[in-house]
Amino acid sequence: MSKNIVVILRKPPHGSLYPAEGLRVAVAISASETNVVSIEDSVYAFLKDADMTLYKHHLDFLKETEVPVFIDKDSLEERGLTAKDLVDAVIVKERSDILSTIAEADATLAF
């Protein structure tokens, strides 16, 4: 049975390649049961007006293959953002749900 893997995005999309690389890995491991969670400054990667040149195709693939990308609601609110600021491909979740997703994983890959 394949493992439940959570890719955790933490870093901002500007000034680092980590969110793009994390999404690239999420695509690569998507044959396993995979969830992506975005916390802290990585939430900026999913703003409607963000430059997604490096990872738009990864995000599209994850949506098509039904690999969920969960956004931490608390991280959004701490930055004055709401779900309306984000692209449709992501799902905003309460912090408790994000923590449950991570707790239930067999492996976590933090970027």
Partner 1 sequence: MPTISFLFFSGPYQSESPETTIELARAALEKGLNVKIFCYMDAVNCVKVGQKKVPGVTNIEEQFRELIAKGAEVRLCTLCMLVRGMLVRGTEGLIEGARRGGTPDIADMVEESDRVLVIS
Q: Which C-beta is closer to partner 1: that of 24 or that of 79?
A: 24
Question: Residue 35 — φ and ψ, nearest 5°?
Answer: -125, 145
Site string for partner 1, 32-61 (x = CB under 8 A): x-----------------------------
Of 3, 94, 2, 9, the closest CA to residue 59 belongs to 9
**Does residue 24 contact residue 85 with C-beta atoms inside 8 Å?**
no
User: In the complex, what is the shortest distance from the CB of residue 29 to partner 1, in angstroms, rounded to a whole number?
Assistant: 4
Task: Among 14, 17, 51, 96, indicate the residue that binds partner 1 (CB under 8 A).
Answer: 17
Of 26, 10, 35, the closest CA to residue 61 belongs to 26
Please report, as ranges, the residues that interact with partner 1 according to CB under 8 A: 2-3, 5, 17, 21, 24-25, 27-29, 31-32, 107-110
